[in-house]
Amino acid sequence: MAFDLIALGTVPSGETPAAASEIDYGGRAFWQCRRFIDLLRHTVGAEPEGAKLRVRRSGPDFNPSIEVVVEFDDANDAARAYASRCDREAPTRWDRTAEIALER
């Protein structure tokens, strides 16, 4: 089983992510990532077997960063297609309709 991943960012591409220089960057960025994962699941759908949306934190050797990645089994067609859809079809803005549904 060969796993691959695609980095999707912290927030939708048209939004402003937390800056590493902000107080409580880690907490704010993690919250943004969780919200982005919820929005992706609402927009693209739940992960099929072999794919997983998760939050990834870079090591302390670099500027710390937190981002959403989709990890997938490259040998699984459904998982690979889902990862590709997350990359291509990710919302570019926070969706107020989805946000209301997610709050319920």
pLDDT tens for 64-104 read 789 999 999 999 999 999 999 999 999 999 876 555 554 55
Q: Has residue 61 got a pLDDT over 90?
A: no
What's the domain count of the chain? 1
Is pLDDT of 42 > 70?
Answer: yes
Domain that includes residue 95, residue range: 3-103
The fraction of the chain above a pLDDT of 90, given in percent, is: 69
Residue of 81, 91, 84 whose CA lies nearest to 37: 91
Whole-number pLDDT of residue 65: 83
How many H helices and E strands in the chain? 3, 3
